[in-house]
Copies of this chain bind each other. A is one copy, B any other.
């Protein structure tokens, strides 16, 4: 292992025959240098293979080009949710443009996340963070406010305690889903929801109830899960085991993976999709097009969502961001939904 060269700005300055300050000016593209000097400095840097030490830069300029993201779900489930990787990739697409990096952390619970964010911010490791998966009475809003930490909350304003927020209008989307199923003639509609603690789960639950009330659907049943395929399968099995006149003829899922699991359960129980029961997924990853029948889904642009969240975080850091929703998921009908018989 050869010892690293450790070239510093001083070496470059010496080589170019200028002061440290001049090198700094050149590399930050600030005025006050002649073109000739600038060129000499760049040439010297290139010859020495120098790149500025970002740690030193952060220390003196009081800013870091890093944003934080902590995700709080069991790894076992995370891997399966196409949502997060796509979301992260959207975030990154914006960060990259601004030569910013993403500090990622998987945590086990909100308290651990609060501790992580606290450490990141107070240790000046990040210039801001993205907060996801809000629940009712989430402690993170208060914590962020107390720290004066720039954050953008991914979630409906009713959950995010006044933080700058970006969200998808789940209530409207879920209402559209229910109306679509009702229009197909379904009266007994069920929903296999996500984690009960999560705010958006509650929002969807309330919206389904409200839509059912307006449409005069009496037989709506909703259950919650841990988002895993296994739990989705269990829930579906339970729903489809109801006595014949009581069994739902349409099931709405809170993510793709549970819908896929539901499809298998239906097959296992000899319930035909979509002839006997219609299934509707949420998120619409590629998975929905790989099953048989293909899965109808509430579809949204997760990558774009992540990108918008990142842009908003930069806005917050600059002190000029406002909360706003992104496009509402739209229904993409495929092979798993059909008129009720």
Q: Is A185 an interface residue (CB 8 A)?
A: no
A241 contact set on B, CB distance < 8 A: none
The stretch of A32-40, A86-94, A274-282, A324-332 that contacts the partner chain = A86-94
Which DSSP category, helix, strand, loop or mixed, fits chain A's interface?
helix
Q: Is there an interface contact between A267 and B286, defined as CB atoms closer than 8 Å?
A: no
Q: Which of B92, B125, B257, B268 contacts A106 (CB 8 A)?
A: B92
Q: Is there an interface contact between B53 and A56, defined as CB atoms closer than 8 Å?
A: no
Q: Is there an interface contact between A286 and B80, defined as CB atoms closer than 8 Å?
A: yes
The stretch of A1-9, A189-197, A213-221 that contacts the partner chain = A1-9
Q: Is there an interface contact between B83 and A82, defined as CB atoms closer than 8 Å?
A: no
Q: Is A42 an interface residue (CB 8 A)?
A: no
Q: Which of B49, B85, B148 contacts A75 (CB 8 A)?
A: B85
A49 contact set on B, CB distance < 8 A: 122
Q: Is there an interface contact between B104 and A88, defined as CB atoms closer than 8 Å?
A: yes
A80 contact set on B, CB distance < 8 A: 82, 85, 285-287
Known contacts A2-B148, A75-B86; 20 further A-B pairs (Cβ under 8 A): A4-B147, A4-B148, A50-B122, A51-B123, A55-B58, A55-B124, A55-B125, A56-B59, A75-B85, A75-B89, A75-B303, A79-B85, A79-B302, A88-B106, A92-B104, A101-B105, A102-B103, A103-B103, A257-B286, A257-B290
Q: Is A10 an interface residue (CB 8 A)?
A: no
A233 contact set on B, CB distance < 8 A: 290
For this chain, the copies found in one complex come to 2
Q: Is A292 an interface residue (CB 8 A)?
A: yes
Determine how close the nearest CB of chain B comes to the CB of A268; give it in whole angstroms: 6
Indicate with 1 or 0, residue by residue over A202-231, a CB within 8 angstroms of chain B CB atoms: 000000000000000000000000001110
Q: Is there an interface contact between B89 and A85, defined as CB atoms closer than 8 Å?
A: no
Query: Nearest residue in B to A69 (C-beta to C-beta)?
Result: B104
- A81 and B122 CA atoms in complex are apart in Å by 34
Q: Is A198 an interface residue (CB 8 A)?
A: no
Q: Is there an interface contact between A292 and B319, defined as CB atoms closer than 8 Å?
A: no
Q: Is A64 an interface residue (CB 8 A)?
A: yes
Q: Is there an interface contact between B79 and A285, defined as CB atoms closer than 8 Å?
A: yes
Query: Nearest residue in B to A150 (C-beta to C-beta)?
Result: B1
Residues facing B in A284-338 (CB within 8 A) are 285-287, 289-292, 302-303, 319
A-B complex: 10 closest residue pairs judged by Cβ atoms: A75-B89, A79-B82, A51-B122, A79-B85, A54-B123, A264-B292, A79-B86, A229-B290, A261-B290, A104-B104
Determine how close the nearest CB of chain B comes to the CB of A193; give it in whole angstroms: 18
A90 contact set on B, CB distance < 8 A: 75
